[in-house]
Structure 1
Amino acid sequence: MTQTSTRYWIGALLVFLAAFCFACKGILIKLAYQYQIDSISLLTLRMLFALPFYVGILLNLNRKQPPARLTMRQWIGLAIFGITGYYFASFFNFLGLVYITASLERILLFVYPTFVLLMNAIGFGRRVTKLQIVALILTYAGILLAFWGNIETSAQKNVLLGAFWVILSGLVYAVYLVGSDQMITLVGSQRYTCYAMIAATVPTVLHCALQNGLQLGKYPTPIYVLGLGMGIFVTVIPTFMIAEGIKRVGSGNASIIASIGPIFTIILSTSILHETISAEQVIGTLLVLAGVFLIGWRGKKHLNSPISN
């Protein structure tokens, strides 16, 4: 095996493992909700557990590389994008999981590449190919089918409301991806991720303080174990695995490999949460994955970040 081939397969493995970690997020959130914790408190625990790692990694990067030289306007823009991608998008996602199953949440969230594609077409005049139109049709047909197959599921409190929050999360995350392109070029993907996560922690903590006085010490031990798991194993570790994986295999290949995420979530949700998966959801999932595969295969660099919010 050549050095180039080894580099590629290591990168593919990193993206694959990152997709698995991201797929676990909904499972951990649903497990935490069994202990009567609200969405913003759970999100705050996740961010606070992850924060020291991002600060430490950022300090280490700044020691090895020249410091980022940005104007005040660029720093403000970076903070706004971080808050958009990791506060708003994450909070909407956590809200959605209050009402729908983890497996449906993951497939609905995969609508974000189509939002990125449409934003680039409308906002930047980038041409949408016939193949990408087919991908859009497949993706939305799959989402509609998966949604329809779950609308009467007793395990879900409010499918319409939950779907609204999750799709809104995907839309907001797409805004983050499209807007982040220039900043990533200026500071690098790893350092940008650190800055974005640190910026998003501030409004998350403020929101929690306003809503419930930042009372985070009243929950049973499993909540903190799950929060730590979300902070490290579905946030810190996979964000850097995906960054290294993209460097090795390219953004298009990374998007394709990471599209296996919903399959992981379905397997985990049925085995751990005992969720019931309908035939319509399975078929819908396959259609969505086909659409994401086509978008990733023919897509540009804006589609280089699997879902991590």
Structure 2
Amino acid sequence: MNADRLRILVVGCGAMGGIFAAHLARVADVAVLDTDAAHVAAIRRDGLRLEGGEGCAAALRAETDAAALHGEVFDTILFLVKSGHTAGALAGLQSLLAQGPLLVTLQNGMGNSEILEAGSTCKVLRGIVLDAGRYLGPGRVEHLIRGNPTWLGPTRGAVGDCARLAEALNDAGLPTRTLADPMDAVWSKLVFNSVMNPIGALLLGVNAARYGSPEVCALVDDMAGECAQVVRALGGRYAFDPMAFVKETRAGLRPVTRHAGSMALDIANGAPTEIDELTGFFVREGDRLNVPVPACRTVYRLVKGLEAARAWQLRQP
């Protein structure tokens, strides 16, 4: 690795991990860690191919086992695994933490920054991503929705700790804003994901159905209203209107894309979703705070059932 450039390890090289790794490789020395052996082999052989928009093939170091990175020094470790895998991923990286890398989570859902803080003494940044992508196959990811800002702020440390990574992201073509308290942005993205991702999964990944059905639009609005009540009860506030993208799409100001959210892709692939870290969070907090969340609870239960049904389906001969 070049000692003059930022040294970054991206943990989880799926859709968003791949997008960030491929872009950052233009301005930093980047390695990726992913458990998908076929994906890693393809990256080693042909580079990581980013499709959609500008397109590129990034030459990266890729590993499936954190032990192969023992003795390496990274300035930043960026976590983009599914929320349920954060604790396990961090545990496997303990040998890298002695040098005090900056730990950064851009993952969906709640609880990830808390895991990074509890499992290390490193400074921790938390952020959100408003772009979207999908994993196409070994060595290939697609950048579906581009040009939206990434928001980044400290949960343990100071806003100045964001500066070098934010500069690299901006230089790499991923516009980034920093803020002293990332929670305002986190609440906005959390509400959007907690409403739109499970709806996309229940509608079998047909994004047009999220906008073309009056009944679905009413359900989306009910869920967003319930989430807003929980956020207010927790003392949270929004950095931006979480449903602005939805409102602009309904008004015809944005096209209806073919991306219905990562949860729809998880269901199709028979993979565990992040429903517990998203909509499930609002159900649990609503119950704890005595805030009624009937629409969120129903959608949460339906997605849990869909997960089980799809897993059963894939087990059949």
Q: TM-score, normalised by structure 1?
A: 0.32
Bigger relative CO (Cα 8 Å, ≥ 6 apart): 1
**Greater percentage in helix:** 1
Kindly indicate which of the two structures has a greater share of residues assigned to strand.
2
